[in-house]
Amino acid sequence: MIELIEKAISDIPDRETKIHVTREYLQLLILKILYDRGYYKNLAFIGGTALRFLYGLHRFSEDLDFSLISRQGYNFDTLLKHIAYDLEKSGLSLDIKKQLEPPVQSAMFRFKDVLFQLGLSDIKSAMRSAIERKRNGMLPIKLEIDANPPKGWKIATVLVSKHFVFTVTTLDIPSLYALKLHACFYRKYTKGRDFYDLLWYLGRKETPDFKLMNNAIKQTEHKKIEVNSENFRAFLKEKLAKIDFDKARRDVARFIEDKKELKLINKDTILNLQS
């Protein structure tokens, strides 16, 4: 596996991008394991990483996010054991920190020596202090599953053909857009990646699934808000006024392939795209 990753990054000139592409290779491997193990009957792939792998979004991502769409035969701890077994069978060394309790189940996969083996870190994992391993040694990928997603989503099946060939179950574009809007304006902190993704939806002139969006808001905020096509622009204008876009741009900067795109992440551009 290391040889395949080495080939994938061989023509990339800078270290930061090499690390991003290495992480992507491992993310795709995890997605393929989920396919091989039959987990897409239970899970729908969502979030910015889904937009990148399935629709060509021009930013890198750290996490693999899913919605639980069927509980039949699903056990999160068993899923993690299957992923770990197959990764280790591929020659990869890792440890896993788990959070098994719903509603949001998560696991942090830390790949121990991948960066060292690829020449992207100077010190092997076993020789580092705990602080050094966290800062510069292990390559982390977080997997997160919303075990209680808001109601109203619709699913789609999409082919992945980068490095591996397989299909994933995902939510359809209007459903993904609805969840992204909820993340933009109801997440407990400003995440610039959300607003970069919002530009992608607006640029494609997509329409969110307002029913799903309203259900998501009601679920987390415990109040009923009726956003629809008629008041959507007013909703955006009100919410965007509260966003610290300097902070948003700083957050997303290291994930964007073309840094010139950072200037697009601002209130006026978003509102102009919605008009």
Residue 53 has pLDDT above 60, yes or no: yes
pLDDT attached to residue 174: 98
Q: Are 166 and 32 in contact (CB under 8 A)?
A: yes
- The whole-angstrom separation of Cα 56 and Cα 120 is 26
pLDDT tens-digit series, residues 56-93: 999 999 999 999 999 999 999 999 999 999 999 999 99
* Averaged pLDDT for residues 217-242: 96
- The whole-angstrom separation of Cα 137 and Cα 132 is 6
Residue 132 has pLDDT above 50, yes or no: no
Q: What are the backbone dihedrals phi and psi of residue 89, each rounded to the nearest 5 degrees, phi first? A: -65, -25
Residue 103 has pLDDT above 90, yes or no: yes
- The whole-angstrom separation of Cα 115 and Cα 122 is 8
pLDDT attached to residue 131: 44
Residue 182 has pLDDT above 50, yes or no: yes
pLDDT attached to residue 275: 81
Residue 133 has pLDDT above 60, yes or no: no
- The whole-angstrom separation of Cα 199 and Cα 194 is 9
Q: What is the pTM of this model?
A: 0.93
The better pLDDT of the pair 255, 136 is held by: 255
Residue 161 exposure: Cα atoms within 13 Å on the Cβ side: 3
* Averaged pLDDT for residues 183-203: 97
Write down the mean pLDDT value for the chain: 94
- The whole-angstrom separation of Cα 23 and Cα 70 is 28
**Which domains are seen in the chain, by residue range?**
2-171 (3.10.450.620), 174-274 (no CATH)
Looking at 57-61, 124-128, 131-135, which range is the least confident one? 131-135
* Averaged pLDDT for residues 222-248: 97
Residue 254 exposure: Cα atoms within 13 Å on the Cβ side: 12
* Averaged pLDDT for residues 194-212: 98
